[in-house]
């Protein structure tokens, strides 16, 4: 279209009504799918709308029906492949039910998350899916519940919030994974997570809420207890990247008189930082240090050696959050049992016997 061409006027409900030879009220009811309208009138209106290429005014429709036909999704880092794949599951499921999705990325910042929730409430989304950045600062999520807006959590649970959460069951698989490392000879095992957790302790009384990191640490604690050894609490680093960069954490874990001989990354984004740091230190896997990560990304099998992982059905978890949210919105029965998914240990070549000479290499 040239700069001088007139802008095409938006087709209105009145235009459709004239084309279909019905009243504006009848056209509005047929297009908005509310109220009483005969099948014959509905067919004429829809045919006229198609002929005129009518696009509905979503704001006006939401005021008439009480629904915006949109879901709000708030995640910490869309660059994290976990959230990207989960988002595909959410989007596919929402689209199949005629809903659109508004996605907001927060950078795992709880202040940005609270603002995202406020924006979505103002936009009158029909419901929200949130992957909480913090177990500690949750007032904004309680505000959603108190507003009556349906809410489902992705991958993380908030104690006392009383809303569904879709995630993988991790405790038994984490126990199996750490037991595999211990059986290979590792007792100095580092674990890195970005979960904001304040002052963490390996004590069973420490409460991180119901979330995958809590289950992973519980499985790790149980594996060391079963082996009759103390958990290496000094090698467990939560709140990674806030403010200490992950590459500094890795260097710390691999230095000192009793360094880590194996490192476990809590997600694939952390794993990339760990692998990059090991490469910069000229350390090889598994000869110098063993390595394991959570989430099975396609590139993990392309590494040399391939990376041992704890895999979870990420797409299905995303789809389940959308299904649970839509069930609330549409008044359908909830299926809480469908929100907990299995995980599994996939053994590859990145685990070897401990290198006790590592301290001389860094």
The three-state DSSP-derived secondary structure of 293-305 is: EECCCHHHHCCCC
Mean pLDDT on 79-90: 93
Q: What is the pLDDT of residues 275-311, one digit of tens each?
A: 999 999 999 999 999 999 999 999 999 999 999 999 9
Let me know: does 220 contact 170? Beta carbons within 8 Å: no
Let me know: does 181 contact 290? Beta carbons within 8 Å: yes
- 70-167+314-339, superfamily in CATH? Response regulator (3.40.50.2300)
CATH 1.20.120.10 fits 171-311+345-360, yes or no: no
Let me know: does 193 contact 107? Beta carbons within 8 Å: no
Q: Per the confidence metrics, is the pTM higher than 0.85?
A: no
Give percent above pLDDT 70 in the chain: 87
- Domain layout of the chain by residue ranges: 13-65, 70-167+314-339, 171-311+345-360
Residue 203 has pLDDT above 80, yes or no: no
Q: Which one is predicted more confidently, 252 or 57?
A: 252
- 13-65, superfamily in CATH? lambda repressor-like DNA-binding domains (1.10.260.40)
Question: How far is it, in rounded angstroms, from Cα 56 to Cα 31?
Answer: 8
Mapped onto helix, strand or coil, the DSSP state of residue 200 is coil
Let me know: does 131 contact 76? Beta carbons within 8 Å: yes
Relative to beta strand 189-192, strand 236-237 is parallel
- 70-167+314-339 with 171-311+345-360: one CATH topology? yes
Beta-carbon-side half-sphere exposure of residue 30 (alpha carbons within 13 Å): 26
């Amino acid at each position: 279209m040239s700069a001088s061409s007139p802008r095409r006027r938006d087709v209105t409900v009145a235009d459709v009504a004239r084309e279909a030879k019905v009243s504006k009220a009848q056209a509005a009811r047929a297009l908005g799918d509310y109220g009483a309208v005969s099948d014959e009138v509905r067919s004429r209106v829809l045919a006229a709308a198609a002929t005129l290429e009518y696009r509905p005014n979503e704001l006006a429709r939401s005021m008439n029906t009480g629904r915006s036909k949109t879901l709000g999704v708030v995640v910490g880092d869309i660059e994290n492949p976990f959230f990207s794949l989960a988002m595909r599951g959410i989007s596919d499921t929402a689209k199949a039910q005629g809903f659109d999705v508004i996605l907001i990325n927060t950078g795992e910042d709880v202040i940005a998350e609270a603002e995202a929730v406020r924006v979505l409430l103002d936009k009158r989304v029909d419901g929200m899916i949130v992957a909480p950045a913090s177990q500690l600062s949750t007032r904004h999520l309680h505000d959603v519940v108190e507003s009556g807006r349906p809410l489902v959590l992705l991958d993380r649970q908030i104690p006392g919030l009383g809303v569904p959460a879709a995630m993988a069951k991790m405790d038994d698989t984490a126990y199996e994974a750490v037991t595999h490392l211990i059986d290979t000879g590792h007792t100095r095992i580092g674990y890195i997570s970005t979960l904001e957790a304040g002052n963490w302790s390996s004590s069973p009384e420490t409460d991180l809420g119901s979330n995958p990191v809590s289950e992973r640490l519980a499985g790790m604690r149980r594996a060391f207890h079963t082996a009759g050894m103390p958990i290496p609490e000094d090698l467990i680093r939560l709140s990674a990247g806030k403010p200490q960069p992950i590459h500094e954490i890795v260097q710390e874990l691999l230095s000192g008189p009793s360094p880590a001989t194996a490192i476990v990354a809590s997600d694939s984004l952390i794993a990339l930082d760990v692998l990059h740091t090991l490469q910069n230190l000229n350390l090889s896997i598994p000869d110098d240090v063993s390595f394991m990560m959570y989430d099975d990304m396609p590139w993990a099998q392309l590494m040399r050696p391939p990376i041992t992982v704890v895999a979870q059905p990420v797409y299905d978890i995303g789809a389940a959050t959308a299904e649970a949210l839509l069930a609330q919105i549409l008044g359908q029965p909830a299926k809480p049992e469908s929100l907990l998914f299995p995980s599994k240990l996939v053994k590859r070549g990145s685990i070897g016997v401990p290198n006790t000479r590592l301290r001389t290499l860094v």
